[in-house]
Structure 1
Amino acid sequence: MTGPLLTVDGLTVRTGAGRELVSGLGFEIAPGERLGLIGESGSGKSLTTLAVLGLLPAGMTVTGSVRLDGTQIVGASEKTLVGVRGRSAAVVFQEPLTALDPLMRVGRQIAEPLRRRRDLKGAALKAAVADLLEQVRLPDPGRIARAFPHEISGGQRQRVALAMALACDPALLVADEPTTALDVTVQAEMLELIDGLVRERGMAVLFVSHDLAVVARVTDRVLVMKDGRAVESGAVTDVVRAPREAYTRALVDSARQLEAALDLDLGGAR
């Protein structure tokens, strides 16, 4: 496609009582581009991702424009949104244990979007499930496919969630704090996996985190949010080397403390 894959313009999210949680936000993501959305808890970043996917909880009101792969998300019908999710964009949430169905075997959960969106069945469906499990580097795909979510580790569950998100080859991967619930070693492995897979597939990424060190690992640009507003944006290396806002400088200082532990290169900023 030509032009941006995702365009957010004047996005405002309010509670039913009228309190603004996201205020006039705007940004774009080009095909294949990777944008990091960073801010502390309560900054509005996760609400922004939910708005992008048309998944805001009941009681919230949204105004402005969110255009994803040519489709206007704000005000769209559920039928339209269902057609967009999985194909134009897919999401990996923070806690896979709540994102996955506890009563359904892992293989069946991965098979569902393949069956519905790609019309796979029989041996072809089984092979596609196994292939996705191998792509996210899960050992013994047959055993994992037969397991229930509670029978595998947190890192394995997050890889399953990533496999489900990749099942229909979406143009945009939305990753909302996908490594926060993991320990440091597993977190680094997950970041490497996400980075490699999106590069191989040429996917765009909207990566949400409170940790600039994590965002620097998998994104090209960063947008910093505070109190529901964008306070700074730019190339990751530029923002790290010369942050303009005091809030961003605090995030950079925090990221430097984690750089050695996560073996990250934050653009040589010191």
Structure 2
Amino acid sequence: MSLLDVRGLTVRTTDDRVLVDDLSFTVERGERLGLIGESGSGKSLSTLAVLGLLPAGMTATGSIELAGTQIVGASDKRLTAVRGRDAAIVFQEPLTALDPLMRVGRQIAEPLARHIGLKGAALRDAVRDALTQVRMPDPERVARAFPHEISGGQRQRVALAMALACAPALLIADEPTTALDVSVQAEMLDLVDALVRERRMAVLFVSHDLAVVARVTDRAVVMKDGRAVEEGTVGDLIRSPQQEYTKALVASARKLESALDLRSAP
């Protein structure tokens, strides 16, 4: 059984506009899959649907099985049990994803207390370890800080620490470097790549940039206007794209002179 099995996923608004149309894909344990497409292609909505986090006014139909749990139609209690334990997400903008009124350490502690039952000194040690594992300088100081008191790169490391704290089988990363300075983006991608390899985690990585997807994933689904238009290994998509839209993404990545040498992609 696949870790994540999405079949016929369709996301509609209350006025029956279709935003994601009959999307299907799988993620095996330990596999790294990219969802790539321009803004409005439906890729981020698809990942939100995977965790039952669609905004108000949107509904999902089809089937989403995550670690044996059917997400579509699941109760809030069931979804809460899944989030952080089986899969966790890192959003594009950590400043809005983090609670501005709560210290960093407490935010990391919440999933550890909820899913693992840690408390007291063991919980404090686990928070410090989570920050250390994402290579956070001075983790004890950061744990005492509020989100606005640390840099954007540090906030994204905090978000990653929260996502990885309970060792979920699947990490969902939704444009996790887009809001960062260029100098920090490559460092963050290298960190994500190293951590998921060490932990043998599966990854569902969302980006508009094929160069970024090629850097951290093995296979990708190309989305346009809410539909999957092409799927394959990253190397095949780069070397021999079949759809005009995919060809444009490859050309755009090359034109931007990404740090990744696309010709050497696996």
Q: 1:248 aligns with which of 246, 254, 265?
A: 246
Q: Scaled by the length of structure 2, what TM-score is found?
A: 0.98
Q: 2:95 aligns with which of 86, 92, 97?
A: 97
Structure 1 residues 39-65: Cα deviation after superposition (integer angstroms, max 9, x where no partner): 000000011001111001121121110
Q: Unpaired runs of 5+ in structure 2?
A: none
| CA-CA distance at 1:268 after TM superposition | 3.1
Give the partner amino acid of 1:70: G
Query: Does the aligned pair in 1 maintain the 2:81–2:115 contact within 8 Å?
Result: no
| CA-CA distance at 1:125 after TM superposition | 1.0
Q: 1:114 aligns with which of 104, 112, 121?
A: 112
Report what 2:261 is aligned to: 265
Report what 1:54 is aligned to: 52
SS of aligned partner of 1:21? strand
| CA-CA distance at 1:151 after TM superposition | 0.4
Structure 1 residues 107-144: Cα deviation after superposition (integer angstroms, max 9, x where no partner): 11111111111111121111111111111111011111
Give the RMSD, CA atoms, in angstroms: 1.0
Q: Scaled by the length of structure 1, what TM-score is found?
A: 0.96
Report what 2:125 is aligned to: 127
The 4+ residue runs of structure 1 with deviation greater than 4 A are none
Identity, % of aligned positions: 76
- Total equivalences in the alignment: 265
Structure 2 CA distance for aligned equivalents of residues 106 and 231 of structure 1 = 40
Structure 2 CA distance for aligned equivalents of residues 31 and 107 of structure 1 = 29
Report what 1:229 is aligned to: 227
Q: 1:159 aligns with which of 157, 160, 173?
A: 157
Structure 2 CA distance for aligned equivalents of residues 225 and 254 of structure 1 = 16
| CA-CA distance at 1:146 after TM superposition | 0.8
SS of aligned partner of 1:247? helix
| CA-CA distance at 1:265 after TM superposition | 3.2
Structure 1 CA distance for aligned equivalents of residues 26 and 174 of structure 2 = 17
Report what 2:176 is aligned to: 178
SS of aligned partner of 1:62? strand
SS of aligned partner of 1:130? helix
